[in-house]
Structure 1
Amino acid sequence: MPVFIELNKSGDAGSAPVKIFTAEVEYQAMSQLKNLARLPIIHSHIAAMPDVHVGIGATVGSVIPTRSAIIPSAVGVDIGCGMNAVRLSLKASQLPDDLSRVRSAIERAVPVGQRAHSSVSSRFAACKNLAPGADRLLEQHPKLSKMLPRAQQTWVRQLGTLGGGNHFIEVCVDQSQDVWVMLHSGSRGIGNVIGRYFIERARKDMSRHIANLPDRDLAYFEEGSPHFADYLDAVDWAQEYARVNREEMLGLTLRAMQPFLPPFTTTCEAINCHHNYVQKERHYGADVYVTRKGAISAREGQLGIIPGSMGARSFIVRGKGNPESFCSCSHGAGRKMSRMQARQRFTREDLEKQTAGVECRKDKGVLDEIPSAYKDIDEVMKNQSDLVEVVHELKQLICIKG
């Protein structure tokens, strides 16, 4: 049975209730959730997903409905970060025994880490639609232009790139031995710049008229305030950039794989879902801004992606539309230790053992992504059986990290 905890059920003493879909919540994360609940803009309650863990200001794995206001740091700096997955017309038996060449081909086609495309290619036709919004944004806020110079066309060259950290591209196989391609990335450098810029604006704005904010990282813009409309435009643009970035990477990945595999097609529509974003939705009788910081939308019948770690299973799920989670579910396994703790505790030999059978990097550069640094994905899934049903279970064969 799923585990469920409810804090401050009556919502009195100036705090909204918090509904938590797990019993495994670290002290700092619980403190962050309590701080969030003290904000006067919270609508109904806050929901914490089974992968909940400490974040910057707002807790990762939280769903935050706000009335006529948005918290920029809850959306975060990787605006629109999320997942993309598609099933191929290939069986696992049709893959080569040695997958290293497939991995290398994908790494050549999709820049990873700090790399970007060397030039603005004509294949990035999507830039033509995105560019006007970016140009207007940079003109309205000259500081953004200095932080991300247009002359270098940085954001254009980063479209179709992976980035670093926990971003990845994977080739997986499901329970029917069908092959999938799945990837995780967001809005790259320009999303980071936009996020940091508006988080600082919110802090400055609130310092002028609110003295008792429980955490300065919970500063928010209210509708009608000087920067609210600008932030909404910027975050909408960055979320669209993130979606297009994943689409472009998926295309590059599939083309890179073709020379090494039998002819194939995609056999289902690609699932493309954000898990760090904000949008307006209706819940409990009101139109509110719902920020999902490390959570995906799980409306009834909606397909989503919940990845495990480098050495664990991932899941394609169908939402159940649970109103208590604001029709949401977890975005992954969730970290149970920091990157520094993982690097201090584990060795390269541990990483090799825990990623046995997966074609991936096994060097110290990705040691902080070792599977043991994450919660048990099976336990996470058990705790959200009221939120989603599993459609496919995926096991990675290739994993590319930045």
Structure 2
Amino acid sequence: MSPVARLGGGRSPIWMWTRPEGVESAALDQLRAIASLPYIHHHVAVMPDVHLGKGATVGSVVAMREAVSPAAVGVDIGCGMAALRTSLTASDLPDDLGAVRSAIEAAIPVGHRHHADVSTRVRRSADLWDAFPGLHPKVSGLLGRAMTQLGTLGSGNHFIELCLDADDAVWMMLHSGSRNIGKEIADAHIRVAKGLAHNTGLPDRDLAVFLAGTPEMAAYRHDLRWAQEYAWRNRQTMLALYADALRGFFPSLRVPCPPAEGPHMGEAAFANVNCHHNYVAEEHHYGADVLVTRKGAISARAGEYGIIPGSMGTGSYIVRGLGNPEAFASAPHGAGRRMSRSKARRTFTLDDLRTQTAGVECRTDPGVLDEIPAAYKDIDEVIGFSGDLVEVVARLRAVLCVKG
């Protein structure tokens, strides 16, 4: 149960579940900057899908004592995955899934779109909206937008997929976060953190931290909890809309009931997973109570189910955590990019995209070229490096993909 590599270069060591030579030099420099912070507890854990991020590296797990860095969470607070195993099997699906994809795209706004009005389903989240006036003043006027964006996909690497497992069971899966409201909250607090005196002289101003016992920390933790809850409910709302769209073609469709928020344990949880991979949690590691930020990483406590997705046209995995203490009980969040979006657009053609997504009902236009599978790391290699972090319980193969 050991990392592949251990690096020095900062106040704290860096433990990596991948080979350093496979990580871009800028990301390694960024990890060393994180490890130089005086608040780091024990070490920085680096997942197999690691790549350069803003301020903090994507694919990093950072435990801090009495402090938290918003950049180590990311601006899409609560971004994560959800998956449901349905009652359908491969034999229930038509040969042409084009109409099904169109129905899903009609039911769930993608990209910068949002719902035209606020549905009854959204209004039921009254406790979420009751807490809204207490958020940072910079977002106080965004309640209407937040309500119409609940149950929407977003853009970039967010997606909705219809998948098959090895037993030909049909799964619904999606990837999304807290939409623009989470980014607004993150940006507002990062600006506050950068202005605090104790953050003077940091190796990267984007690594600014809040300290425990301060009003700034309390305000950030309050807003962070709200955004994480919003992201979780956003995925649950989309799953309900997704199921409604599918029932137009498959009236007998049944899906498991939503689980309570929290650790996903047991057989029932295997069929219904909703997990963050950009978030903060209060945990106990190496003899201390700490704040753990996972940016591009999932919780993988012993017996806890999670999702490690691939890219368009590749496989994804339902996994069960092994609770590896050296990784702060964490695992990777997906394939992780191996090249920038601009480089992907320069490198590949639409013919390449069609070839790499053959057999998947999806868009193959210029708007999604930067999401081509070859722009991402090999998901099977990522899983290979994760053998002491999780065990695989199901491999999913996409047959339909909706992109933002």
- State the TM-score bracket (shorter-chain normalisation): over 0.9
State the 1:125 CA deviation. Answer: 3.6
Aligned to 1:149: 142
Cα pair 1:2 1:22 within 8 Å, conserved? no
1:380 equivalent to 2:389? Answer: no
Cα pair 2:246 2:253 within 8 Å, conserved? no
Distance (whole Å) between structure 1 residues aligned to residue 370 and residue 227 of structure 2: 27
1:203 equivalent to 2:194? Answer: yes
**CA offsets 1:308-352 (integer angstroms, 9 cap, x no match):** 000110000000000010000000001000011001111111101
Q: What secondary structure does 1:341 align onto?
A: helix
1:266 equivalent to 2:255? Answer: yes
**CA offsets 1:113-164 (integer angstroms, 9 cap, x no match):** 0110101111214431101111221xxx43333xx534xx000000000000
Aligned to 1:57: 55
Cα pair 1:96 1:261 within 8 Å, conserved? no
Aligned to 1:6: 6
Q: Once structures 1 and 2 are overlaid, which stretch shifts more, 296-305 or 259-268?
A: 259-268
1:282 equivalent to 2:275? Answer: no
Q: What secondary structure does 1:253 align onto?
A: helix
- Which residues of structure 1 form unaligned runs of 5+? none
Cα pair 1:2 1:385 within 8 Å, conserved? no
1:195-234 matches, within 5 Å, as 195-205=186-196, 208-234=197-223
Aligned to 1:170: 161
- Residue type of the alignment partner of 2:152: T
Q: What TM-score, normalized by structure 1, do the two folds share?
A: 0.94
Distance (whole Å) between structure 2 residues aligned to residue 345 and residue 188 of structure 1: 29
1:133 equivalent to 2:126? Answer: no
1:159 equivalent to 2:159? Answer: no
Aligned to 1:191: 182
Cα pair 1:2 1:383 within 8 Å, conserved? no
Distance (whole Å) between structure 2 residues aligned to residue 3 and residue 19 of structure 1: 6
- Residue type of the alignment partner of 1:57: G
Cα pair 1:57 1:73 within 8 Å, conserved? yes
**CA offsets 1:373-401 (integer angstroms, 9 cap, x no match):** 00011111000101000000000011000
Q: What TM-score, normalized by structure 2, do the two folds share?
A: 0.94
Q: What secondary structure does 1:227 align onto?
A: helix
- The verdict on how the C-alpha distance between 1:89 and 1:2 changes in structure 2, with shifts beyond 3 A counting, is farther
**CA offsets 1:355-375 (integer angstroms, 9 cap, x no match):** 000000100000110000000
State the 1:212 CA deviation. Answer: 2.1
Distance (whole Å) between structure 1 residues aligned to residue 130 and residue 73 of structure 2: 23
- The verdict on how the C-alpha distance between 1:126 and 1:65 changes in structure 2, with shifts beyond 3 A counting, is farther
Distance (whole Å) between structure 2 residues aligned to residue 127 and residue 90 of structure 1: 29
Q: What secondary structure does 1:360 align onto?
A: coil
Distance (whole Å) between structure 1 residues aligned to residue 178 and residue 36 of structure 2: 30
Aligned-pair Cα RMSD in Å: 1.4
**CA offsets 1:220-242 (integer angstroms, 9 cap, x no match):** 00012231100000000000000
Residues paired across the two proteins, number? 389
Distance (whole Å) between structure 1 residues aligned to residue 336 and residue 12 of structure 2: 24
Identity of matched residues, %: 57
Aligned to 1:394: 396
**CA offsets 1:79-102 (integer angstroms, 9 cap, x no match):** 000000000111101111110111
